[in-house]
Chains A and B, each alone.
Chain A
Amino acid sequence: SQQGEEDPQALSIQEGENATMNCSYKTSINNLQWYRQNSGRGLVHLILIRSNEREKHSGRLRVTLDTSKKSSSLLITASRAADTASYFCATDKGNEKLTFGTGTRLTIIP
């Protein structure tokens, strides 16, 4: 079953612009994680935010979590061509078993 749903499904922006993608989920969580997947490759862990946290930063990444709305957002600032990839949110209900969303395909136009 898909716990998370990303929005939009696809996003194209100019290099240097900021990219924002959103994730909604259905049940209570212990933490929420974001992953990046380049075409035909495995997923790479980007950032983890716990249910008692509201915002977290890592380099050009900013993640927010609103547990009352059961939603999260991932902001990538000053985008680069190398950021072109699919981005997935994943939720952990506390059993270390992640449920992934359907992903946002991000294209950065040089």
Chain B
Amino acid sequence: DGGITQSPKYLFRKEGQNVTLSCEQNLNHDAMYWYRQDPGQGLRLIYYSQIVNDFQKGDIAEGYSVSREKKESFPLTVTSAQKNPTAFYLCASTGRFYGYTFGSGTRLTVV
């Protein structure tokens, strides 16, 4: 059963703490993406990777970091430099010429 798995579903971050969101896909897709969604808003691109060991900044990369060591995995770290991290984070992947497949999201809250 192919798809994208995001974990955890809910995550709580303390002030000054780094947290890592997991994204794994078994669709054999080359390209993977991280988006942030704030309440009632559209999606904004954080980072994307179109091939292993390479990734590019999106529109709101400040305070975030990623790695792409394996085709299947694209973890996102929310660093302490991200001052307003509370949001819904969505990971997606795509094969060529088709739409994106999204994970079910991680809701991050600062406590």
Contact = CB atoms under 8 A, between A and B. Distances in A.
Contacts of A78: none
Interface range, A side: 20 to 34
Q: Is the interface of B mostly helix, strand, loop or mixed?
A: strand
A42 B102 contact: yes
A33 B44 CA distance: 16
Contacts of A12: none
Contact of A99 (B4, B45, B101, B102): B45
A35 B99 CA distance: 9
9 contacts: A35-B100, A40-B107, A42-B4, A42-B90, A43-B100, A45-B99, A48-B98, A88-B43, A98-B33
Interface range, B side: 20 to 34
Interface of B: 4, 6, 31, 33, 35, 41-45, 48, 50, 58-59, 88, 90, 92, 94, 96, 98-105, 107
